[in-house]
Amino acid sequence: MSDDRLRRELRAAVSPAEMPPGLAERAFRAAMAAASAPFADRFVVTARRAALVGAIATALVWGGLFLRGAPAESGSASAQLDPAEEALAVWAGEEAPGGD
């Protein structure tokens, strides 16, 4: 079979590739989008870690404040109550003689 005939038969059997319009643009955009995907993945992992560390740190700070602050508060509360009670007692004591 001659080369010419082979060529004719091939051209009759297989169509030439016609590049779809806009393919270069789509390929470029796909490459850029795929390149930014790993960064996005890394960002999500980093953000999760940061959130976890932040939550633990906040819990520790509040826990520490609670543990340190509770006795002081209770101490001051008693300190504030005692004078009040004392004052009430004093008032009651003063009123009692006058009222009676």
Partner 1 sequence: MEKESLAPLAERTRDGDPAAFRQLVDATSERIYRLAFHLMRDRDEAEDVVQETYIRAWQRRGDLRDPHAVVPWLSRIARNSARDRLRWWRRRPDRARVEVESAAAVPAADAQLVEAERAAEVRRALDVLSEKHRVILLLREVEDMSYEQIAELLGLPLGTVESRLHRARAALASKLEKKR
Segment holding 44, helix H or strand E: helix 23-99
CB of 34 to partner 1, least distance (A): 4
The residues in 58-97 that bind partner 1, with binding defined as CB under 8 A, are none
For the four alpha carbons of 49, 51, 54 and 55, in that order, the dihedral sign comes to: negative
Near partner 1 by CB under 8 A: residue from 21, 32, 72, 84:
32
What residues line the site for partner 1 (CB under 8 A)?
1, 3, 6-7, 9-17, 19-20, 23-24, 26-28, 30-32, 34-35
